[in-house]
Structure 1
Amino acid sequence: MSKKVTQTVEDLVIPILEELGLELVDVEYSKEGKNWFLRVFIDKEKGIDIEECGIVSEKLSEKLDEIDPIPYNYFLEVSSPGAERPLKKEADFLKALGKQVHLKTYEPIDGEKVFEGELTSFDGSTVTITATIKTRKKVLEIPYEKVASARLAVTFN
């Protein structure tokens, strides 16, 4: 059910975002405690502001009220993905080249499942990051199909 809801919401929100020159980052539909939450994360090149989130929320809410695809009461939240933006699509990885990323894999690679470093290359099948391990730089090649989750990583120098 959750997958069907998120797909329906994606189909409804994408035309709204295209009209406003915005991008869909992710849609989440989940139950937390006794409440259901529908979260829509949007962005654009220079970042998103609260006014844009409000406009999208209002327009999406109207569409959701029209077709009523969700049988439960829920809270709709439209927001920026934040500084640690998730990398969901191949295009997200390409935009993140040269930036710090945090990756988790489905299975261990060289005994590890969590990796952090600069995303130096992505060719659609291999994610290459340069990590600093005890003052040494190490290049790690991770098969894209083994990436369980990825996001930008905030670093403090």
Structure 2
Amino acid sequence: MVDRLRELILPVVHSFGMELWGIERATSGKSKILRIYIDGSAGVTIDDCVRVSRQISSMLEVEDPLSAKYILEVSSPGLERRLFEVDQYCKYIGEMVRVNLRNSFENRRNYLGRLVRVENEEIIIVSKEEEFTFPFEMIEKGHLVYEG
């Protein structure tokens, strides 16, 4: 489903000179939410989100890839952005990341550490002076951690 959404949404986002950062499907109470994260070289304004949201909404009404009702949200990924693709991790070498794993590794599923490298579809972080290597497919969710 996400692949089909990406296929439909990508051209719309690109037409505004933006990058499709990620797609997330969530539930809040009884509401289904479709979150689209966009990014741009000069950042993302509220007006950018509104324009992209209107176009995506119109396109989804015609294509109708989602069978249930949903709330569409379009936003910037923000400072503590979620990292959806292995290539996105490559852009943030040296930054702090939080990684949640699909299954436990050494009796833990959550790791916080500095991203030191990405190679062969694996994410390598250093946490408390210990290095951990996680194959990308092991990662359920990862995001940057703002150090402000």
What TM-score comes out, normalization by structure 2 length? 0.85
Question: Partner of 1:129 in structure 2?
Answer: 125
Question: Partner of 1:52 in structure 2?
Answer: 48
What displacement does 1:37 show?
1.9
Point out where structure 2 has 5 or more consecutive residues left out of the alignment: none
Distance 2:102 2:67 in 1: 33
Aligned residues: 148
What displacement does 1:55 show?
1.0
Question: Which secondary structure does the structure 2 equivalent of 1:154 belong to?
Answer: coil
Question: Partner of 1:8 in structure 2?
Answer: 4
Q: More displaced, 96-105 or 28-37?
A: 28-37
What displacement does 1:19 show?
1.9
Query: CA contact under 8 A between 1:22 and 1:44: conserved in structure 2?
Result: yes
Question: Which secondary structure does the structure 2 equivalent of 1:76 belong to?
Answer: strand
Distance 1:10 1:99, change over 3 A: same
What displacement does 1:35 show?
2.1
Question: Which secondary structure does the structure 1 equivalent of 2:83 belong to?
Answer: coil
Residue 110 of structure 2 corresponds to residue 95 of structure 1: no
Distance 1:112 1:91, change over 3 A: same
Of the three residues 25, 35, 51, the one matched with 1:39 is 35
Percent same amino acid at aligned positions? 28
Point out where structure 1 has 5 or more consecutive residues left out of the alignment: none
Question: Partner of 1:144 in structure 2?
Answer: 136
Distance 1:17 1:141 in 2: 33
What TM-score comes out, normalization by structure 1 length? 0.81
Question: Which secondary structure does the structure 1 equivalent of 2:103 belong to?
Answer: strand
Letter in 1 for 2:80: E
Distance 1:45 1:120, change over 3 A: farther
Distance 1:46 1:124, change over 3 A: farther
